């Protein structure tokens, strides 16, 4: 009986530098052909038999001391899982980091980062609004004992304190698609780790680690999974931080299920194609919205992407109630197009004044553009926007960015 089933795909395998599209379909699978496999195996074991309890004790000690991935069988599924490790390997390669650590959701991933820093006595967080609504809430409410200072990018350096353990930003940000200069922000952080939430851009459009972010966070529920059927989170980072994250994941239990790990690895293989195709649709819809008299303002990122935010002159709730092809639902990053009203749904949990102060207007709609035909999408949106009340020449604002 071979033990190769327990061989985790190694991060150190020397692989010549490969393009993103190649990594997307091959990373995390490099050992498969040698094993006589094509599709990655799904290992659903919660426990791993061992007749050598001394050896197992040594593996437990090693994990407790270092947080390094167990050598050989993981002992127990909370320490690690070979199928999930394939996804982690692949995502790390796409983001250009040494390692990645996967969690049960994006919020579980952010929680683990806060716990790592908090356990080192570094409870203070500096953050830039807007952030995803629940990230804002987690920090504002101090649910994990952290204390947050909100600032703008120019104020980051001045907001740092001796106990600052983290600087957190999103770019493009949820839901306004506001962008910031990650390189300049990373510089302002000095030695404090910068966490960049890269959920919206994905490594296809932006690799924050190359710009100085020490931690790259994803709600893998969104584009990485890409089909609206997996909930997951992941942090791409250096191996030193990854070890701390694995120790926290082991102790707090926010592990990713192996079936989700499998679906995410499969999702990554089409990520570049999906993101590029959906972005082309989104760019065209942003152009049509910007030229539409019923739309006050369109936010579309300079780096592109499949997300659009726009402010309507009329009632945003009527647009949500009026779509038929587009799905009125929170979340994003799926193959189909979703639209939602951030002030009512995704950012409801943020205090109304803070929300508006971060640029989240009550008339803002956020749309995650999918892979449908762009003319079908426009026909649906056009109908949902309702009557054209004013002639085109009375248009009040143009597209931004
Ligand atoms: C959805 C989202 C999260 C939270 O991720 P979950 O997987 O829902 O826990 C974090 N950041 C951003 C930008 C998101 O869109």
231 lines ligand 1 (CB under 6 A): yes
Does pTM surpass 0.85?
yes
Is residue 15 over pLDDT 80? no
Residue nearest to atom 2 of ligand 1 (CA): 219
Is residue 106 over pLDDT 70? yes
Extract the runs of DSSP E, i.e. beta strands, from 122-214. 124-128, 147-151, 164-170, 194-197
Is residue 16 over pLDDT 80? no
For residues 220 and 102, is the Cβ–Cβ distance under 8 A? yes
Query: Separation of 48 CA from ligand 1 center, angstroms?
Result: 32
Query: Separation of 115 CA from ligand 1 center, angstroms?
Result: 18
pLDDT at 8: 46
Tell me how far apart the alpha carbons of residues 86 and 104 are, in angstroms, rounded to a whole number: 16
Across-strand partners of 236? Answer: 100, 216
Dihedral of the alpha carbons of 141, 143, 148, 153, in degrees to the nearest 10: -90
Is residue 127 over pLDDT 70? yes
Lowest mean pLDDT among 15-29, 74-88, 119-133, 285-299: 15-29
Query: Separation of 24 CA from ligand 1 center, angstroms?
Result: 22
For residues 104 and 256, is the Cβ–Cβ distance under 8 A? yes
Digit-coded pLDDT (tens) for 205-236 = 999 999 999 999 999 999 999 999 999 999 99
pLDDT at 2: 33
| Positions of CATH 3.90.1150.10 in the chain | 272-400
56 lines ligand 1 (CB under 6 A): no
Instruction: Look up 48 and say whether it is catalytic.
Output: no
pLDDT at 340: 97
Is residue 11 over pLDDT 50? no
Is residue 261 over pLDDT 50? yes
Query: Separation of 173 CA from ligand 1 center, angstroms?
Result: 11
151 lines ligand 1 (CB under 6 A): no
Q: Atom of ligand 1 at shortest distance to CA of 331? A: 1
Angle between helices 374-384 and 271-290 (to 10 degrees): 40
Residue nearest to atom 8 of ligand 1 (CA): 106
Q: Atom of ligand 1 at shortest distance to CA of 231? A: 7
CATH of 272-400 given 3.90.1150.10, 3.90.1640.10, 3.40.50.1820, 3.90.190.20: 3.90.1150.10
Tell me how far apart the alpha carbons of residues 177 and 252 are, in angstroms, rounded to a whole number: 32
pLDDT at 390: 54
Query: Separation of 198 CA from ligand 1 center, angstroms?
Result: 10
* Mean pLDDT in residue range 272-282: 98
Is residue 4 over pLDDT 50? no
Digit-coded pLDDT (tens) for 39-66 = 999 999 999 999 999 999 999 999 999 9
pLDDT at 391: 52
pLDDT at 9: 46
CATH of domain 15-45+81-269: 3.40.640.10
Digit-coded pLDDT (tens) for 283-334 = 999 999 999 999 999 999 999 999 999 999 999 999 999 999 999 999 999 9
Instruction: Look up 222 and say whether it is catalytic.
Output: yes
Q: Atom of ligand 1 at shortest distance to CA of 173? A: 13
Instruction: Look up 78 and say whether it is catalytic.
Output: yes
Banded model confidence at residue 399, pLDDT cuts 50, 70, 90: very low
Digit-coded pLDDT (tens) for 162-180 = 999 999 999 999 999 999 9
Percent of the chain with pLDDT over 70: 93
pLDDT at 48: 95
174 lines ligand 1 (CB under 6 A): yes
Is residue 239 over pLDDT 90? yes
Is residue 145 over pLDDT 80? yes
pLDDT at 3: 36
Arithmetic mean of pLDDT over the chain: 93
Is residue 392 over pLDDT 90? no
pLDDT at 214: 98
pLDDT at 170: 98
Cα 355 to Cα 129, 140, 176, distances in angstroms: 9, 12, 11
340 lines ligand 1 (CB under 6 A): no
Percent of the chain with pLDDT over 90: 91
Q: Of all helices (H) and strands (E), which one includes residue 237?
A: strand 233-237
Banded model confidence at residue 71, pLDDT cuts 50, 70, 90: confident
Which residue of 103, 104, 106 sits with most ligand 1 atoms within 8 Å of its CB, as the best mutation to test the pocket? 106
Q: Atom of ligand 1 at shortest distance to CA of 200? A: 13
| Positions of CATH 3.40.640.10 in the chain | 15-45+81-269
For residues 98 and 242, is the Cβ–Cβ distance under 8 A? yes
Q: Atom of ligand 1 at shortest distance to CA of 135? A: 10
Query: Separation of 275 CA from ligand 1 center, angstroms?
Result: 17
pLDDT at 295: 98
Tell me how far apart the alpha carbons of residues 293 and 296 are, in angstroms, rounded to a whole number: 7
Extract the runs of DSSP E, i.e. beta strands, from 268-362. 295-299, 307-312, 327-328, 338-340
**Cβ count near 21 (within 10 Å):** 14
């Amino acid at each position: 009986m071979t033990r190769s089933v327990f061989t985790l795909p190694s991060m150190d395998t020397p692989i010549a530098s490969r393009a993103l599209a190649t990594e997307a379909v091959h990373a995390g699978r490099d050992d498969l052909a040698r094993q006589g496999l094509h599709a990655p195996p799904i290992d659903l074991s919660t426990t791993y038999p061992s007749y050598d309890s001394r050896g197992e004790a040594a593996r437990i000690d090693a994990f407790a001391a270092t947080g390094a991935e167990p050598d050989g069988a993981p002992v127990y599924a909370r320490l690690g899982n070979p199928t999930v490790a394939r996804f982690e390997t692949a995502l790390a390669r796409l983001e250009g980091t040494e390692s990645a650590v996967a969690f049960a959701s994006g919020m579980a991933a952010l929680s683990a980062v806060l716990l790592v820093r908090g356990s080192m006595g570094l409870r203070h967080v500096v953050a830039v609004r807007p952030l995803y609504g629940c990230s804002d809430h987690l920090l504002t409410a101090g649910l994990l004992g952290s204390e947050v200072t909100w600032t703008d990018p120019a104020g980051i350096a001045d907001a740092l304190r001796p106990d600052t353990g983290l600087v957190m930003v999103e770019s493009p940000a949820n839901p306004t698609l506001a962008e910031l200069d990650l390189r300049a922000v990373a510089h302002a952080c000095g030695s404090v780790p910068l966490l960049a939430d890269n959920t919206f851009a994905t490594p296809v459009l932006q690799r924050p680690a190359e710009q100085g972010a020490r931690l790259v966070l994803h709600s893998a529920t969104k584009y990485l999974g890409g089909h609206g059927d997996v909930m997951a989170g992941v942090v791409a980072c250096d191996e030193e931080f990854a070890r701390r994250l694995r120790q926290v994941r082991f102790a707090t239990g926010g592990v990713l299920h192996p079936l989700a790990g499998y679906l995410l690895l499969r999702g990554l293989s089409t990520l570049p194609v999906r993101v590029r195709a959906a972005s082309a649709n989104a760019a065209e819809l942003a152009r049509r919205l910007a030229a539409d008299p019923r739309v006050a303002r369109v936010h579309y990122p300079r780096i592109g992407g499949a997300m659009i935010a726009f402010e309507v002159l009329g009632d945003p709730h009527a647009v949500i109630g009026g779509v038929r092809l587009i799905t009125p639902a929170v979340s994003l990053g799926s193959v189909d197009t979703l639209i939602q009203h951030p002030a009512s749904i995704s950012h409801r949990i943020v205090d109304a004044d803070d929300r508006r102060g971060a640029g989240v207007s009550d008339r803002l709609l956020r749309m995650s553009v999918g892979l449908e035909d762009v003319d079908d999408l426009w026909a649906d949106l056009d109908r949902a926007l309702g009557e054209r009340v004013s002639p085109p020449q009375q248009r009040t604002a143009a597209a931004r960015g």
